[in-house]
Amino acid sequence: MLRVGRGKAFNKVLRVPGDKSISHRAVMLGAIADGTTRIENFLPGDDCHHTIECFQRLGVKIEREGATTLTVHGKGWKGLREPDQCLDVGNSGTTIRLLLGILAGSPFFSTVYGDASIARRPMARVVEPLRRMGARIDGRAGGRFAPLAVRGGELKGIEYHSPVASAQVKSCLLLAGLRAEGWTKVKEPHPSRDHTERMLKAFGAELSLGEGAVSVRGGQSLAGCHVRVPGDISSAAFLFAAALLVPGSRVTVRDVGINPTRTGILDVFRSMGAEVTVTPTDQWCGEPVGDVTVAGGPLRGVEVGGDLIPRLIDEIPVLAVVATQAEGRTVIRDAAELKVKESNRIATVAEELRKMGAQVDETSDGLIIEGPTSLQGALLDSHGDHRIGMAMAVAGLASEGEVRVKGAEAISVSFPNFAEILKELE
């Protein structure tokens, strides 16, 4: 049980663990590349450990030096072999969907499964286009849900217009496209995070980008490289929110990823009235890195939707918490994807915030929050969802009386030292 009391004004300079999306991709691209890939500042979270284990089961040698440095000894796609056990992705949607793209183009049989949350998450969004490429995939409910079985083999490139803006769908198809005959083109309704595109280039692949689409030519091989993983802005977002929830506070997070496809939360906090300063410092493996400072002040409600949503999709739970302290109404729309994350985040955010006395309404594709309301201490539940657990813990900093979060162990999926850092802010 995680317990959080009201915060006192703080002024801190902190770091957060490595980016989850980039850590997964570094292991995966390293595994199918020729040569060694050294990864520094890897996220030592449960989701990324599942990615490592899946590739070890596929025969890839991965050496660990301490918690955050790895060497992946890739032998190209031909270095992957038929696993003699099922591949367990745990709680990780990114692992299962990107892995399916790799397995679809691998000439052997494999099965993938995960925890109860993974078994509820939609897989047709990748299974259906992979089948169009020629992959043979079966699974529960005709392949709409895990567990899934894949008999990989020869693929042909397709042009795919994804109905959802999803980096997992896009990345899955680009990875399969590397093994397909001809070109694979993916177009999406709004731009999603582009870490796969940036990392593929760093591994020597040629991509064609333009008109909201990305294309890859099949048959290219990748060359192992050195990846330094930026701090995860999705983890930093909880610390930025903490600074906004505790009056008079300021936080700087150093060496955090500031890829524009991920910084929507900074734009929104700024439009709510927060002081946000971004100082770019470097590029690591094609990813911009910088120091970000956030300081509070009077906050006002905002409207969030459209292209912004994929740029802050994982930050919406904590944005909702901040919105309870803003003057006026906050409307979050176009975010139906939240229903198919680790939990139904529209329902779980509303349910938990209401326990604290917040005024929150669920809509079919988002949330409406009226503020400011004074939050009360309560016994809250993570619903097994790391982002809900952290959002509710941070809400405790702004509440009268203690917040207790059940199921806080889920937080180790993406931010293993969250509780220690939060303790410094109480």
Contacts with ligand PEP, residue ranges (CB under 6 A) = 20, 47, 92-94, 314, 341-342, 387, 414
CB of 47 to ligand S3P, least distance (A): 9
**6 labelled ligand-binding:** no
CB of 426 to ligand PEP, least distance (A): 24
Contact between 60 and ligand S3P by CB under 6 A: the answer reads no
Contact between 26 and ligand S3P by CB under 6 A: the answer reads no
CB of 426 to ligand S3P, least distance (A): 27
When the beta carbons of 287 and 342 are compared against ligand PEP, the nearer one is 342
**121 labelled ligand-binding:** yes
Q: Which stretch binds ligand S3P (CB under 6 A): 35-43, 139-147, 160-168, 348-356?
A: 160-168
267 is known as an active-site residue: no
Helix (H) or strand (E) holding 88: strand 87-88
Question: Among the options 232, 314, 381, 385, which is catalytic?
Answer: 314
Give the CA dihedral 52, 56, 59, 60, nearest 10 degrees.
40
Kindly provide the b/e burial profile for residues 177-214, where b requires at least 16 CB atoms within 10 angstroms of the residue's own CB. Answer: bbbbeeebbbebbebbbbbbbbbbebbebebeeeeeeb
When the beta carbons of 47 and 287 are compared against ligand PEP, the nearer one is 47
195 within 8 A of 167, measured Cβ to Cβ: yes
When the beta carbons of 197 and 337 are compared against ligand S3P, the nearer one is 337
C-alpha 309/C-alpha 261 separation (Å) is 10
Kindly provide the b/e burial profile for residues 145-175, where b requires at least 16 CB atoms within 10 angstroms of the residue's own CB. Answer: bbbbbbebeebebbebebebbbbbbbbbbbb
Task: Choose the one of ligand S3P, ligand PEP, none that binds residue 342, judging by a C-beta under 5 to 8 angstroms depending on kind.
Answer: ligand PEP
Task: Choose the one of ligand PEP, ligand S3P, none that binds residue 414, judging by a C-beta under 5 to 8 angstroms depending on kind.
Answer: ligand PEP
Using DSSP bridges, classify how beta strands 399-400 and 375-376 pair: parallel, antiparallel or unpaired.
parallel
* DSSP letter assigned to residue 2: E
393 Cβ neighbours under 8 A, 6+ residues apart: 2, 4, 238, 403, 405, 408, 411, 418, 419, 422
Contact between 43 and ligand S3P by CB under 6 A: the answer reads no
Helix (H) or strand (E) holding 214: strand 213-217
Residue 173 dihedral angles phi and psi, to the nearest 5° = -70, -35
How far is it between the farthest Cα atoms of the chain? 61
Structure tokens belonging to residue 293: 């400072």
Question: Pick from 37, 41, 91, 94: which binds ligand S3P (CB under 6 A)?
Answer: 94
C-alpha 178/C-alpha 176 separation (Å) is 5
**387 labelled ligand-binding:** yes
C-alpha 267/C-alpha 260 separation (Å) is 10
Position 167, amino acid: A
Structure tokens belonging to residue 339: 């229903």
Nearest residue to ligand PEP, by Cβ distance, number only: 93
When the beta carbons of 287 and 314 are compared against ligand PEP, the nearer one is 314
Q: Cβ of 65: how many Cβ atoms within 10 Å? A: 10
Task: Choose the one of ligand S3P, ligand PEP, none that binds residue 381, judging by a C-beta under 5 to 8 angstroms depending on kind.
Answer: none
**406 labelled ligand-binding:** no
Task: Choose the one of ligand PEP, ligand S3P, none that binds residue 166, judging by a C-beta under 5 to 8 angstroms depending on kind.
Answer: ligand S3P
- Residues from 330 through 369 that contact ligand S3P (CB under 6 A): 337
**20 labelled ligand-binding:** yes
Task: Choose the one of ligand PEP, ligand S3P, none that binds residue 167, judging by a C-beta under 5 to 8 angstroms depending on kind.
Answer: ligand S3P
CB of 170 to ligand PEP, least distance (A): 13
**166 labelled ligand-binding:** yes
**343 labelled ligand-binding:** no
**250 labelled ligand-binding:** no
Name the 3-class secondary structure at 275. Answer: strand
Kindly provide the b/e burial profile for residues 96-121, where b requires at least 16 CB atoms within 10 angstroms of the residue's own CB. Answer: bbbbbbbbbbbeeebbbbbbebbeeb
C-alpha 54/C-alpha 111 separation (Å) is 11
Q: Which stretch binds ligand S3P (CB under 6 A): 82-90, 164-172, 225-233, 318-326?
A: 164-172
CB of 424 to ligand PEP, least distance (A): 23
CB of 46 to ligand PEP, least distance (A): 11
Active centre residues (catalytic)? 314
Residues annotated in a binding site for phosphoenolpyruvate? 20, 93, 121, 168, 345, 387
Binding site for ligand S3P (CB under 6 A): 21, 94, 166-168, 171, 192-193, 313-314, 337
Residues annotated in a binding site for 3-phosphoshikimate? 20-21, 25, 166, 168, 314, 341
